[in-house]
Structure 1
Amino acid sequence: MIHAIIPNKTIPEVLKSDDESLKYQIALSLVPGIGPVLAKNLVSYCGGVREVFNRSKIQLERIPGIGPERAGMIRHSIIMKRAEEELVFIRTYGIKSLFYLDKAYPQRLSHCVDAPILMYFKGDCDLNAGRFIAVVGTRHATSYGREVTEKTIADLAAFGVTIVSGLAYGIDIIAHRAAMEAGLGTVAVTAHGLDRIYPSLHKCTAEKMTMKGGVLSEYISGTMPDRENFPARNRIVAGMCDATIVVESAQRGGALITADIANSYNRDVFAFPGRIHDAFSQGCLSLVKENKAMLVCSADDIAKALNWDIEGPLKKPEKSVQLNIFTSLSEEEQRILNRLRESKLLHIDELALSLSVPLGKLSSILLRLEFEGLIRALPGKRFEFVS
């Protein structure tokens, strides 16, 4: 997916003209002793990220919560040098940066007080579009856990969800693969930088996920999957989702940490029951017994609890639609369809103007696309893409 060695390119070769502000965003996330809450306060107090680094050490010391030591670290040249190196890395490998003030930043997560100020994403997925569900559980999944995970995700496909998990052994990787099999998007949140995949056995799965979904991390390249990073990773999993499903878990484990964090964010938590004497059912049974999770037995139970049965399916998986699109359309038809996909809804005059296609020809193409079920004609000569 991403190699650890960066090609020998100079900064001007890979950086864009608007990367100066991103450099400061990265730098702020690297300052020791300044977590997400204090970093956001700093940006607010100074009036911007760049302004934080333009303040003198004395001015920074006067800001509540900073003091001499932290002010000195903000002004340290090594912070900016490391930020420049990371900037080259993410541009070289086409990694997207997500700053907490950006529109593309997961809005569900942005409401969480300890959400990271900056994350890195490799993939193709709108992290704010549609419904997001976290599926977590033990690394030692049983055949029962595998069956429940695969069946639940397959049944949730009707609601167009995106499945989020941690790419770990057990329930995590089963959930990612089940999502891809069902034609759903799936996102892995890692506890390390995007210059590596842990465990390495899941690298092929991670590569496939970037086609419809992706890999997300708050950590810069070179960060190892250290033990303390995993609980921090779990807050992103819980925070960016509408709800968390715990399939199997022992009495202690990362899945229960994710469930507790989800509860602290006032998100729904669901747990599947198991046999009362099974070791990997104890965590789920405890969650239910302590009213930390709602007991569910199917995707139908989850949909009802979230009122999805009333709202109806948001969208169907795009798997079969993609096959039709790319095997039967001419280049011009594909161009028109892509324009509608980007804008969702357009008047025929807007389409003709933006694509420089004569109205008569455009009308006949739109009619064919409508017959194919790829677009929908609306009153007033408007057309929308059918997802």
Structure 2
Amino acid sequence: MSLIHKIGLTLIKGVGHVHAKNLLDHFGSAEAIFKAKGSQLMEVNGIGPVISGLILSNNALKEAEKQLVFIRKHKVKVLFYTDISYPQRLKYCHDAPVLLYYKGNVDLNHPRIISVVGTRNATTYGRMLCQQLTEALLPYGVVIISGLAYGIDVTIHKESLHLNIPTIGVMAHGLDRIYPPSHKPIAQKMLLNGGLLTEFIPGTIPDKENFPKRNRIIAGLADAIVVVEAAGKGGALITADIANSYDRDVFAFPGRINDPCSEGCNFLIKTHRAGLINHAKDLIYYLGWDDKLPDQSGLQSKLALNLSEEEQKLIGLLDNVTLSLDKLVLGSGFSQGKLAMLLLNLEIHGIVTALPGKVYKLN
């Protein structure tokens, strides 16, 4: 599929992520969309004469050619919605970006990814929690994601770099700049073990409305989101709400009841929008990352039971590993509804155990 057409699709004014995905489902490629006639375009759900006219009369491909110059010069990876390299956790979020721009050396489909968010006004307590969190996660082979902002974001990036944990910053602007500028040295180090990711084309400035859009990517990329410190309002709580809407696990460290920087965390816990964790070990337990492998002695007897081919396939996927629901969907090719029924039957037979964090293992 032509890269120019992929980029061009995202540059057509009036064609957002939902329309773009509907068009891709119908035509199969971005190039085919640009070649389609008006009558063909209007066969697509949600595409009327106005949007069809915008697609037919746009100047997006010329703009895409300009972007391609920057992309090639700076060796930017373009991750399109239909590409295998596109982050699969994010792909199943209803408002996932059609295209991402990435500079880095870490797989965005890494088996274990945690997003960490928090206030821009981090306290000594918050910085201590970031240090303890990274130290505890070090043996578990995780990738840590945040937003490269002031406060908790940059603290978790720094602590990750200090321990050589891969860390990725999701930005609210193009890859041609770093915001805030004072974090440029940190960002350059992150490119050596981690990366920088954005949905915004080069030249996009960090406008206020871009940050909530950025937050949905932080939420969608991870297995779980950890809120370290958060005020009563702000980006961290927005990210937590988005993560809940994606059916992601959200955890928060509690704080003193009169501390403004803990007000948001305490609220999330009190309203059951986040699980309470006192230590990173709690997070590891809830996600089933204790690395205890299931006993293999009974695997063959499990397979010998009167189980369907689909159930045996799931048992094979869970052989020697614990897997999240999302990874089982990807590995099996089953819909979430069908997968839930199969897992329930295996649980009833005592073959599979559901761990906290929507993670499954063989008994």
Question: SS at the partner of 1:88?
Answer: helix
State the distance in 1 between where 2:157 and 2:292 align.
Answer: 25
State the distance in 1 between where 2:148 and 2:28 align.
Answer: 38
Deviation of 1:27 after TM superposition, in Å, equals: 0.7
Aligned position for 1:44: 25
Q: Does 1:188 align with 2:169?
A: yes
Aligned position for 2:90: 109
Question: SS at the partner of 2:2?
Answer: helix
State the distance in 2 between where 1:155 and 1:182 align.
Answer: 11
Deviation of 1:68 after TM superposition, in Å, equals: 2.1
Which runs of 4 or more aligned residues in structure 1 lie more than 4 Å from their structure 2 counterparts after TM superposition? none
Aligned position for 1:291: 272
Decide which of 43, 53, 62 is 1:81's aligned counterpart: 62
State the distance in 2 between where 1:207 and 1:124 align.
Answer: 12
Aligned position for 1:366: none
Give the aligned residue type for 1:289.
K
Q: Which has the greater radius of gyration?
A: 1
Pairwise CA RMSD of aligned residues?
1.2
Aligned position for 1:359: none
Q: Does 1:263 align with 2:252?
A: no
Match runs of 1:1-387 below 5 Å: 21-311=2-292
State the distance in 1 between where 2:163 and 2:65 align.
Answer: 40
The superposition leaves residues 332-370 of structure 1 with CA deviations (integer Å, 9 ceiling, x where unpaired) of xxxxxxxxxxxxxxxxxxxxxxxxxxxxxxxxxxxxxxx
State the distance in 2 between where 1:31 and 1:280 align.
Answer: 41
Deviation of 1:269 after TM superposition, in Å, equals: 0.5
Runs of 5+ consecutive residues of structure 1 not aligned to the other structure: 1-19, 313-387
Give the aligned residue type for 1:296.
I
Question: SS at the partner of 1:206?
Answer: helix
Moved more, 115-124 or 25-34: 25-34
The superposition leaves residues 296-316 of structure 1 with CA deviations (integer Å, 9 ceiling, x where unpaired) of 01110000010111447xxxx
Give the aligned residue type for 1:38.
H
State the distance in 2 between where 1:69 and 1:199 align.
Answer: 39
Give the aligned residue type for 1:207.
Q
Give the aligned residue type for 2:118.
G
Aligned position for 2:324: none
Q: How much identity, in percent, do the aligned residues show? A: 52
Q: Would you say the 8 A contact 2:147–2:169 is kept in 1?
A: yes
State the distance in 1 between where 2:178 and 2:30 align.
Answer: 30
Aligned residue-pair number: 293
Give the aligned residue type for 1:285.
N
Aligned position for 2:340: none
State the distance in 1 between where 2:61 and 2:54 align.
Answer: 10
Q: Would you say the 8 A contact 2:126–2:229 is kept in 1?
A: yes
The superposition leaves residues 76-125 of structure 1 with CA deviations (integer Å, 9 ceiling, x where unpaired) of 34211111111111011100000111111111111111100100001111
Runs of 5+ consecutive residues of structure 2 not aligned to the other structure: 294-363
State the distance in 2 between where 1:77 and 1:299 align.
Answer: 50
Give the aligned residue type for 1:234.
N
Q: Would you say the 8 A contact 2:12–2:58 is kept in 1?
A: no
- Normalization by structure 2: what TM-score? 0.79
Deviation of 1:130 after TM superposition, in Å, equals: 2.5
Give the aligned residue type for 2:72.
R
State the distance in 2 between where 1:82 and 1:136 align.
Answer: 34
Give the aligned residue type for 1:266.
D
State the distance in 1 between where 2:259 and 2:78 align.
Answer: 43
State the distance in 1 between where 2:91 and 2:45 align.
Answer: 23
